Amino acid sequence: MLRLAWGRAVSKNSRGEPVRLLSVVLGGLDSPLQISGGNTRGVGQTPHLPTSDKSPLLLPRPARCRFSSSATVNMASGNEEPSSSPPRHTNRLAKERSPYLLQHAHNPVDWYPWGQDAFDKAKNEDKPIFLSVGYSTCHWCHVMERESFEDEEIGRILSENFVCIKVDREERPDVDKVYMTFVQATSGGGGWPMNVWLTPDLRPFIGGTYFPPRDLGRRPGLKTVAIRIMEQWLNNRAALESSGERVLDALKKGTAVAANPGESPPLAPDVANRCFQQLTHSYEEEYGGFRDAPKFPTPVNLMFLMTYWSVNRSTSEGVEALQMTLHTLRMMALGGIHDHVAQGFHRYSTDSSWHVPHFEKMLYDQAQLAVAYITAYQVSNEQFFADVARDILLYVSRDLSDKSGGFYSAEDADSVPMSGGPEKREGAFCVWTASEVRELLPDIVDGADGGATQADIFMHHYGVKEQGNVDPEQDPHGELLGQNVLIVRYSVELTAARFGISVEKVNELLASARAKMAEVRKSRPRPHLDTKMLASWNGLMLSGYARVGAVLGDKALLERAVEAANFLKNHLWDTEQQTILRSCYRGDQMQVEQISPPISGFLDDYAFVVCGLLDLYEATLQTEWLQWAEELQLKQDMLFWDVQGGGYFCSNPSDATVLLQLKEDQDGAEPSANSVSASNLLRLSHYTGRQEWLQRSQQLLAAFSDRLTRVPIALPDMVRSLMAQHYTLKQIVICGQRDAPDTNSLQATVNSLFLPHKVLMLADGDTEDFLYQRLPVLSSLSQQGGAATAYVCQDFTCALPVTDPQELRRLLLDEHMQAELG
């Protein structure tokens, strides 16, 4: 019988190590599947990381790491320039639109996309399935594609013995979650690429992540693993199938999330205090963030901490929560994880000081960080945070935006260096040598001490060194040798003092230098751009534009948010079926394309879009977005709600090809759709008067009671929803005409404050409007003295009306303090 042993070896100072097979050996039939190695976990246990209070950042769903191998590997890319000669091989993936699947369209592997054709072939030929899952900007997916899937011999072995299915995890998160849960539970770790062998009825029996093509010392290669799995399939099939069946049965029990009959949500203050304490244990004080290295932005943690501060402002814990948040956001913005030349944020930092990043840029990071930074501006009134939020949206508007109004998914980390060569390198598009900087910025600065040039000032400020500023421990493959990752080393004031010039002059010089460097960047070979457009991530980005635009009063940003909402309605909303679609694609002629049949939306598509629409309504006060949000929530309830246990399934339970009905219980790189839904339901109950949505939100929170009580650090976004239930939402009603100056002034006052427990609505006197139809009580509220008037209410019992923005501000702050004390 096949016995697997693999472990996860993550070096503190490396870019992470791949989860990989350490050995594949034949064992006895009495132990058909044995897993050993670091962080192994019993099959019957829920596949979560340790739940200690001191656990740093819980990520049962592996973070989007770029893993590194101790073995020498060739860098590879899925975004090669088209060759003048026709490809030797073309498989079915050539008909797909996913950039990741298209990267494998000319492999000598007989790839199928996930679907009935592949399933039928496996059953008809009684063959096991080889399922390989990744995404287009995944570094180690590129490596494995180049090393193994372009290998003629390995391609033949896979194609002759298995039905080979390739899945883009961003297109099919349902498939990815099921089999990643299996890999994590049986190996103690996970990551991408993920490679799993299944029976013809889709039941997994063995899996791992990155495999080298051939044996490396005691480490088996993909060729060896595939051959031995086929041998075992022929000789010990029953044992393979029974072992996989046992694992799957255990996972069904271990991953169940449900409320006990009559159970209520846990007490919000207790849960919030525990979440705060768990975050303080994992907080890294010098540079901020919640682990040493690798270090991830984790905006879900930061948003929780600011919400915690908002109801604990007068306590030392509240002050500490705010300090942790602002310090983390500041250090990130100064660090190399922030692209100082072309804006936006990279995926994560390989070191504790936010200096050397994994250079991939993800849409969902930009969306959530834009909201985190604009919220930090609301609570601190520091222009620095508003500038960073605007900076993120500048990047997204320029580099991740489609002319249709949609947003692309990601930019890769690897690209061809300017020096040329066949191999792409990590960060080549973003890094600089000292000589490049000196050549680009040679001018002597008038009045600067010692005849300093613009390059001298820039290099001092951004830590550029002649020999490069990347620690070799952060560059195990030598890709960044002699290169510099820009990081702010000094304040503008200290740089000005160092060179004897004014702060204004330094700011001018640095801005000029960054603009020149941005122009040089345009001439460099660009990283691969994943032009897939996902409903969920577009929903997150819609929130980003709406929230930042509202706080800053920026009409251009709000117009871009409306464009994004229209894109979702025009291209990712099936008007006949009244359902959201998961994805659409940029075609060869820059038009929006769809596959046939399209992929139906998953829970996160509905939840994130509903949240975006609610944020857009509060930013524009246009009720069409509120009305669509109500429609989507009704459909979400119908498709995904667990009537027995409460909460939402990640995918439609009626899909027989998805073997585990999972409820995401982790706020990680993205918030859990259940966390977002708990908040959406609460907000919508106030906008629509549907009390059943308030009850449903409570049932959802009750279903996650155990997780919230034991390890709330795993669900900080859901803790925020729990707090909103506890403190109850205030209704802020502005009676006035939309876009009238006095209405805008009151709206701007509300938007200037961080008020996490409120809904904002406009009563414009049109009793035929959606809101008046849902909330007849609005007819009793009116303008005072012909001026726009604000009412601050709880359960529509309202304080005295106000017309002056400053009075409204005082009233909102007083109400907030009373809620904290109450």
pLDDT digits (tens, 9 = 90+) for 692-733: 999 999 999 999 999 999 999 999 999 999 999 999 999 999
The model's confidence at residue 507, banded by pLDDT at 50, 70 and 90, is: very high
Which of 22-31, 148-157, 564-573, 720-729 shows the lowest mean pLDDT across its residues? 22-31
> C-alpha distances in angstroms, 781 versus 14, 38, 734, 798, 821?
61, 63, 9, 10, 28
Q: Could you give the maximum distance between any two Cα atoms of the chain, in Å?
A: 88
pLDDT over 50 at 151, yes or no: yes
Residues with Cβ within 8 Å of 137's Cβ and at least 6 positions away in sequence, in order, are 360, 362, 409, 410, 411, 412, 413, 527, 528, 530
Q: Is the pLDDT of residue 59 over 60?
A: no
What is the band of 415 on the pLDDT scale with cuts at 50, 70, 90? very high
> What's the confidence (pLDDT) of residue 800?
94
Distances (CA, A) of 746 to 543, 743, 757, 784: 21, 5, 18, 14
**Res 61 pLDDT > 50:** no
For the stretch 238-283, pLDDT in tens is 999 998 899 889 999 889 999 988 899 999 999 999 999 999 999 9
Reply yes or no on whether the pLDDT at 65 is more than 80: no
Confidence (pLDDT) at 820: 55
Nearest to 204 by CA among 247, 157, 173: 247
Tell me the pLDDT band of 796, cut-offs 50, 70 and 90: confident
Residue 692 has what pLDDT? 97
pLDDT above 50: residue 37: no
Mean pLDDT of 116-134: 97
CA distances (Å), origin 109, targets 82, 101, 203: 19, 12, 22
How far is the C-alpha of 385 from the C-alpha of 493, rounded, in Å? Answer: 18
SS percent in the chain: helix, strand, coil, step 5 = 45, 15, 40
The answer to whether the CB of 78 falls within 8 A of the CB of 142 is yes
With cut-offs at 50, 70 and 90, classify the pLDDT of residue 168.
very high
Q: What is the mean pLDDT of residues 577-591?
A: 95
CB-neighbour burial class of residue 210 (10 A; exposed 0-12, middle 13-18, buried 19+): buried
For the ranges 67-81, 169-183, 647-661, the lowest mean pLDDT is seen at: 67-81
Distances, alpha carbon 588 to alpha carbons 99, 531, 716, in Å: 12, 11, 41
Distance CA 747, CA 792 (A): 13
Which pair of structure tokens corresponds to residue 301?
A: 């943690």
Compute the residue count for the chain: 822
- Ranges 495-509, 540-554, 802-816: which has the least confidence: 802-816
Model confidence at 70, in pLDDT bands (50, 70, 90)?
very low
Q: Which of 673, 561, 694 is nearest to 625 (CA)?
A: 561
One-character DSSP codes across 732-800: EEEES-TT-HHHHHHHHHHHTS--SSEEEEEE-S-TTSHHHHH-GGGGG---BTTB-EEEEEETTEEPP
SS3 381: coil
pLDDT digits (tens, 9 = 90+) for 509-547: 999 999 999 999 999 999 999 999 999 999 999 999 999
**pLDDT at site 817:** 60
1-10, 478-487, 749-758, 804-813, range with the lowest pLDDT = 1-10
| Rounded-to-integer distance, Cα 56 and Cα 47, Å | 17
Which pLDDT does position 83 carry in this prediction? 53
Q: What is the dihedral of CA 612, 275, 692, 537, to 10 degrees?
A: 20
356: which residues sit within 8 A by CB, 6+ positions away? 336, 349, 350, 470, 471, 474, 475, 480, 485
Percent of the chain with pLDDT over 90: 83
Rg (CA), the chain: 27
Cα angle 454, 460, 464 (rounded to 5 degrees) comes to 100
Q: Please list the residues that pair with 167 across neighbouring strands.
A: 133
Residue type, 378: Q
Q: What is the mean pLDDT of the chain?
A: 89
Does residue 101 contact residue 110 with C-beta atoms inside 8 Å? no
Between 62 and 199, where is the model more confident? 199
pLDDT at 217: 85
Residues near 415 by Cβ (< 8 Å), separated by ≥ 6? 77, 424, 425, 428, 429, 524, 525, 526, 527, 528
- Ordered structural domains, the chain, with CATH: 93-255 (3.40.30.10), 289-384+407-531 (no CATH), 728-821 (3.40.30)
Residue 84 buriedness (CB in 10 A; 0-12 / 13-18 / 19+) = exposed
Nearest to 585 by CA among 284, 213, 136: 136
Q: How far apart are alpha carbons 573 and 167 in whole angstroms?
A: 23
Q: What is the DSSP letter of 80?
A: P
CA-nearest of 658, 655, 798 to 730 is 798
Residue 588 confidence class, pLDDT cut points 50, 70, 90: confident
pLDDT score for 421: 76
The runs of H, that is alpha helices, within 146-236 are: 152-161, 173-187, 222-235
Q: What pLDDT, in 10s, does the model give residues 304-343?
A: 999 999 999 999 999 999 999 999 999 999 999 999 999 9
Spatial separation of the C-alpha atoms in residues 712 and 278, rounded to whole Å: 8
| pLDDT on residue 14 | 32
Q: How much is the pLDDT for 261?
A: 85
C-beta of residue 354 within 8 angstroms of C-beta of residue 289: yes
CA–CA–CA angle 375, 379, 385 (5° rounding):
55
Residue 356 scores a pLDDT above 80:
yes
Query: In the Cβ-directed half-sphere of 328, how many Cα atoms lie within 13 Å?
Result: 33
Sort 138 into a burial class: Cβ within 10 Å, 0-12 / 13-18 / 19+: buried
Mean pLDDT of 10-28: 32
